[in-house]
Amino acid sequence: MIEKDLNITVDFPPSSYEQWRKNAEAELKGAPFEKKLVGRTFEGIDIQPLYTPDHWPSAGDPSGFPGFAPLTRGDRVLGNAVSGWDIRQEHLHPDPVEANRAILDDLEHGVSSIQLRMDAAACAGLDADDRAAISLAGHDGVMAYSLGDLDRVLEAVRLDIAPVSIDCGGAFLPAAALLAAQLQRRAVDPGSVRCAFNADPIGALMREGRLGVPLDTALADLADLAVWTASKYPNATAVEVGTGPYHHAGASSTQDLAFAVATGLEYLRAMTASGLDVNTAARQIAFGVSLGTQFFRAIAKLRALRTMWARVVAECGGDPDTGRTMQLRARTSRRVLTTVDPWVNLLRNTVCCFAGAVGGADVIGTAPMDAAIGLSDHFTRHLARNTQIILQEEAHLNRVIDPAGGSWFLETLTDQLAESAWGILQQVEGRGGMIAACLDGWVAEQIAAVGTAREKDIATRKLVVTGVTEHPDVREERLVRTRPDYARLRAEASTRLVAWRRDHDCAEALKSVAEIARDPDRAPGSLTEAAVQAALDGATLGQIHATLVEGSTAGKPAQVTPLAVHPYAAAFEELRAAADQHAEQTGRRPRVFLANLGTPAEFIARSTYAVNFFQAGGFEDVNNDGFADPQAAAEAFSQSGAKIAAICSTDAKYDTLAEPLAAALKAAGARTVVLAGNPGAGEARYRAAGVDRFIFIRCDVLGTLRDLLREEGALQ
């Protein structure tokens, strides 16, 4: 008889962690528990297979509640439950008219704010018609150098409804002046302005390698902008601490956290020195965090950052309970996006957005799937924004406030990341702060150490890049994006600038900017006010920046070796590109013949592994249904047109047939014979028979493929 009431405690008696581990170790049959079931991150954190209350005791609610210290669970009681997170889309088409068309399309179809990235010339403080801008104009951003250009970019955009976040690298103050002038010219209500000016001179220095002014001057300009913004636009932010330069160079999660907080601390000091109180200064800073595809780690990273920053604000004399301590912006990491099989980037975007939502980000930006290839089109922007819209409006991810709260695993991981990152932060402070640690190369050295370890894991496929290092499709039709005509665009921008300067006399306004810039006793906020007035009078971005540089008396412009971007897939994508070029030049791809021995049941596992292995390097495989004897395999190889043969079967088959098959393949013209499997004690005799290479799990996949492509003549 079946009981009507289910009593779980009777039918499923509780089991202790000790009993579970004993059963797990029995299943491992002598293999070490720590080696088989415990993972280890690049941060040096052990990831256990099972978490219990012993790992994270919940008594006393150590993570607090949303809106209360220590703010791990968010600094708003309702989080994003009422209105959802801000869906932000980045725009960087160089043509102002095309950029405006794309912006309006996004805003009409669900995007709630715009990230406007200025081109490389503007980030260097140059107008398009400057000689030094020849190789920079139009690259990596919008070509907007005057109030007229910016008006074209933002035509018909309701700036009181759709916030604009502007990114102009080291030239943050001239760009902020242009955007602020646009707000004033349109008479936007100051209380409704939620724009972001994103001054981040340390981040710009580490990304670009150079600022137009000394760092002391850049920090003074940042503080001036923050004071002005706090007084004019109380709901806007002047400063962004972006983790992108460090994250894209290969930093670990704990390094990301430590460098972000250390940078924020430098900015906090600069702003309070200019007269802002700690709480007001803290509210002027937004944190822009790049998220990779390590889902749980990304969630924990966002939560740990809130905890750390709240602690810093409190240590500096602020009171996190008096208001919001930070705005948290999450965006898809550039280092996880691929050019090969870019459709997988849709899934990567989904993971990053999901993690950002669960981690409580206020703003989320998802990159179009073709962002690593070139300028995105209407379709890929459509997919990027709809990823967020579906997760918010159909999956309702914002409806649960901090769903990670109380998870033994995520709470433990959050605490571990915060503790480890705090240790790195103390090292940074011990070296004199983030600026000193950047200038003496220490930050770059720390990132490089992690990057080297990660690249080794990618090379051996311990760390997988789906569609590139694992499950590649060598026959895929590559996605191509048209390169803009930069020369034409620069000529058009130069023509606009000449006409603009002819029609606008801004000499007096620029003179005022220069005088205030040189005044060591200037009132906080006065420099920004003068720059905004100059922009209203018609001064261009390049003119304002040049005036600020001339007014700087603090020494030489800041300069370091920039942090290079290291996408996970870069090394393998180089191999694929070389193989593709070889196919175009010769009419045929590099080819591998699969010498399958025995029945499909015997060779299929290693044959599948070999196909996956070689296609990761752009090789075409010549497959078959298997051969009963070495001679038949050798005859088929001679007809294949390949110079490489890969023997695939079981260890038992190898014991009797690998040596004669290798000899037969060599006799049939094989330049290279590869055996799929770890040779173990048989390596010497296999090599003596003609086997040149062995491929197996955790071997050097990248190095092997690189060598084979060189032998094929596809690589130098």
d(CA 710, CA 705): 9
- How confident is the model over 208-256, as pLDDT tens digits? 999 989 999 999 999 999 999 999 999 999 999 999 999 999 999 999 9
CA 99 to chain CA centroid, Å, is 23
pLDDT category, 61, cuts 50, 70, 90?
Answer: confident
Q: Give span(s): CATH 3.40.50.280, the chain.
A: 570-712
Q: Which helix (H) or strand (E) holds 363?
A: strand 363-365
Predicted pLDDT at 4:
67
Q: What is the CATH number of domain 86-441?
A: 3.20.20.240
Judge whether residue 320 has pLDDT over 70. no
Picking from 705, 695, 590, 592, the residue whose alpha carbon sits closest to that of residue 645 is 592
Amino acid, res. 489: L
Residue 314 contacts residue 71 (beta carbons within 8 Å): no
What average pLDDT does this structure show over 95-104? 98
What's the token pair of residue 247?
A: 């994250």
Give me 579's structure tokens.
């193989």
The CATH 3.20.20.240 portion of the chain extends over 86-441
331 phi and psi angles, rounded to 5 deg: -145, 155
Q: How far does CA 130 lie from the centroid of its chain? A: 32
Q: Is 199 a residue whose pLDDT tops 80?
A: yes
Looking at residue 52, its amino acid is T
| CATH 3.40.50.280 holds for 570-712 | yes
Task: Give the span between the Cα atoms of 381 and 362, in whole angstroms.
Answer: 21
Does the pLDDT value for residue 81 go beyond 80? yes
DSSP symbol at 372 = T
Query: What percentage of the chain exceeds 90 in pLDDT?
Result: 92
- Terminal alpha carbon distance of the chain: 77
Task: Check residues 64 and 165 and name the one with the higher pLDDT.
Answer: 165
pLDDT > 60? residue 323: no
Q: Model confidence over 413-465: pLDDT tens digits?
A: 999 999 999 999 999 999 999 999 999 999 999 999 999 999 999 999 999 99
